[in-house]
């Protein structure tokens, strides 16, 4: 064994941050023993700054009363919301997906939700591996006639049913 273990000084080799803090702590303890007078004389805490005075209330010329803060603020014009976009935007779908969902337009997220609710209500998941889905006749019409699919394939196979519009 090396001589470092016997003195107990350097347990963590190469960790300068730990060694530096241990050395400074040992030096602080040594300094505290020699000087006891510095502990009794402490500086006074700084006083808190005084709050700034508030401006005088504005007076409404018509009624003669003070204006409240919402009256003083200038409101920015509201932006018109563009509506849903991306996965939440309803777009036209294929006839096969229309027959399954019962609507002529649907969002991608809405279609996936309805397909998952159908899968769970019909108990079409493989009990041994919940990631696999057994397709019945309705799902086979959507998913290219496959007997079983993985849950990650649903989005890929559904993308064929969403009609792209420019």
Question: How confident is the model at residue 150, as a pLDDT?
Answer: 93
Q: One digit per residue, pLDDT tens: the chain, 166 residues?
A: 555 555 555 555 556 666 666 666 666 666 665 555 455 566 778 888 888 877 666 666 666 666 555 555 666 677 677 777 777 888 899 999 999 999 999 999 999 999 999 999 999 999 999 999 999 999 999 998 999 999 999 989 998 998 877 6
SS3 assignment for the chain: CCHHHHHCCCCCCCCHHHHHHHHHHHHHHHHHHHCCHHHHCCCCCCCCCCCCCCCCCCECCCCCCECCHHHHCCCCCCCCCCCCCHHHCCEEECHHHHHHHCCCEECHHHHHHHHHHHHHHCCCECCCCCCEEECCHHHHHHCCCCCEEECCHHHHHHHHHECCCC
Radius of gyration of the chain (CA): 37
Place of tokens 């919940």: 130
Mention the CATH class of domain 86-161: mainly alpha
Domain regions of the chain by residue span: 86-161
């Amino acid at each position: 064994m090396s001589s470092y273990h016997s003195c107990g000084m350097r347990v963590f080799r190469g960790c300068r941050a730990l060694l530096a803090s241990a050395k400074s702590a040992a030096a602080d303890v040594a300094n505290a023993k020699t000087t006891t007078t510095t502990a009794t004389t402490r500086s006074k805490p700084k006083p808190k700054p005084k709050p700034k005075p508030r401006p005088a209330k504005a007076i409404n010329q018509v009624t003669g009363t003070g204006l409240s803060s919402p009256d003083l603020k200038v409101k920015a014009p509201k932006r018109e919301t563009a509506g849903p976009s991306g996965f939440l935007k309803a777009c036209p779908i294929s006839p096969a997906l229309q027959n399954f969902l019962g609507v002529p337009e649907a969002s991608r997220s809405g279609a996936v939700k309805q397909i998952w609710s159908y899968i769970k209500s019909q108990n079409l998941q493989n009990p041994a591996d919940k990631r696999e889905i057994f397709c019945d006749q309705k799902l086979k019409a959507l998913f290219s006639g496959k007997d079983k699919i993985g849950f990650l394939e649903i989005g890929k196979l559904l993308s064929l049913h969403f009609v792209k519009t420019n």
